[in-house]
């Protein structure tokens, strides 16, 4: 397929990162297949993760087609870019079509990127993940590649103001060894193994991160390292409250339309 949009976007992003003196640590890129399909599964700590997870495949000369919620494609600015980069919209009311589009991309030799936690982790630990990524890899006969990202939450994450022009923020991107699930495996167990690998990579990235938060910046550090980010249990409660508020808002909109 023609790549008119994606390469210029990458070039622009790298230029911006250089201007902002973003300090990258990128390890394990040899695990990205040089050819053929793969499911790249990353943790999710910020609204910028698709950019940084995509950079994990850049040294291999690969482009990643990310699965992202349909609402992003509906945005008048982000939408044309997402479509131009051939990312895959996910409509939660029509999940089968999104899954079919991902399988088609994988079988044609593309790398498909998945944020298996579905939403940003407020605790900055790896949330429970569903087996969709594993099932896609098995159905397409391609490897699963775990990735951990750390640092972008300082630029823009859930519940915090954007600080996109902050200079000198280190960003760590670690790529783990591929997993090769196959038909007949216990998909739930493979999913648990995948989450464990992602958690190990993320903890390594966090413990080896070169910056320590100032006393007024401990929000971006996970609780288990002494930060003031919510614990996983507190984060789950916040997520449930947010989901209930969104549901109530939708129902109110529907009620007003019907009245």
CATH number for the domain that contains residue 17 = 3.40.1130
Contact 89, 70 (CB under 8 A): yes
End-to-end CA distance of the chain: 47
How many structural domains is the chain composed of? 1
pLDDT given for residue 257 in this prediction = 84
Residue 91 has pLDDT above 90, yes or no: no
Task: Give residue for tokens 């670690």.
Answer: 174
Per-residue pLDDT reduced to its tens digit, 125-138: 999 999 999 999 99
Residue 96 is assigned to a structural domain of this protein = yes
Paired with 147 in beta bridges are 42, 175
Count Cα neighbours of 182 within 13 Å in the Cβ-side half-sphere: 1
Residue 133, in any domain of the structure: yes
In the prediction, which pLDDT does 92 show?
A: 75
203-245 pLDDT, tens digit per residue, is 999 999 999 999 999 999 999 999 999 999 999 999 999 999 9
Residue 62: pLDDT band by 50, 70, 90 thresholds? very high
Please tell me the total number of residues recorded for the chain in this structure: 259
- Kindly compute the dihedral angle of the four CA atoms of residues 75, 77, 78, 83, in this order, to the nearest 10 degrees: 90
Contact 46, 173 (CB under 8 A): no
Domain hosting residue 34, numbered range: 6-258
Q: Per-residue pLDDT for 196 more than 90?
A: yes
Residue 174 lies in a domain: yes
Residue 1 in any domain: the answer is: no
Instruction: Please choose, from the candidates 123, 126, 153, the residue with its C-alpha nearest in 3D space to the C-alpha of residue 217.
Output: 153
Q: What is the mean pLDDT of residues 17-35?
A: 97
Task: Mark out the alpha helices in 118-212 (DSSP H runs).
Answer: 132-140, 187-207
Q: Alpha-carbon distance 16 to 217, whole Å? A: 24
Confidence of residue 160 (pLDDT cuts 50, 70, 90): very high
Angle CA 46–246–87, to nearest 5 = 45
- Are the C-beta atoms of 244 and 211 separated by less than 8 Å? no
Mean per-residue pLDDT over the chain, rounded: 96
Residue 57 within any structural domain of the chain: yes
Give the position of tokens 């951990």: 148
Is residue 167 domain-resident?
Answer: yes
């Amino acid at each position: 397929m023609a790549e008119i949009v994606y390469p210029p976007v990458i070039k622009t992003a790298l230029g911006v990162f250089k201007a902002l003196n973003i300090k990258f640590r990128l390890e394990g890129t040899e695990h990205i297949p040089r050819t053929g399909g793969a499911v790249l599964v990353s943790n999710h700590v910020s609204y910028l993760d698709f950019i940084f997870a995509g950079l994990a495949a850049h040294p291999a000369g690969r482009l990643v087609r990310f699965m992202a919620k349909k609402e992003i494609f509906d945005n008048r600015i982000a939408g044309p870019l997402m479509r131009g980069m051939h990312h895959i919209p996910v409509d939660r009311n029509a999940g089968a079509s999104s899954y079919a589009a991902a399988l088609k991309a994988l079988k044609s030799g593309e790398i498909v990127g998945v944020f298996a936690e579905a939403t940003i982790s407020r605790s900055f630990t790896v949330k429970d993940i569903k087996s969709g990524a594993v099932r896609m890899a098995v159905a397409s006969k391609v490897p699963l590649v775990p990735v951990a990202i750390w640092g972008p939450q300082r630029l823009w994450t859930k519940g915090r103001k954007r600080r996109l022009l902050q200079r000198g923020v280190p960003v760590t991107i670690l790529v783990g060894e591929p997993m090769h699930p196959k038909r007949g495996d216990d998909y739930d167990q493979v999913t648990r193994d995948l989450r464990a690998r992602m958690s190990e990579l993320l903890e390594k990235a966090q413990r080896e991160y070169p910056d320590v938060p100032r006393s007024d910046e401990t929000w971006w550090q996970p609780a288990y390292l002494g930060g003031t980010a919510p614990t996983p249990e507190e984060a789950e409660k916040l997520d449930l409250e947010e989901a209930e508020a969104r549901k109530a808002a939708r129902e109110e909109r529907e009620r007003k339309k019907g009245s």
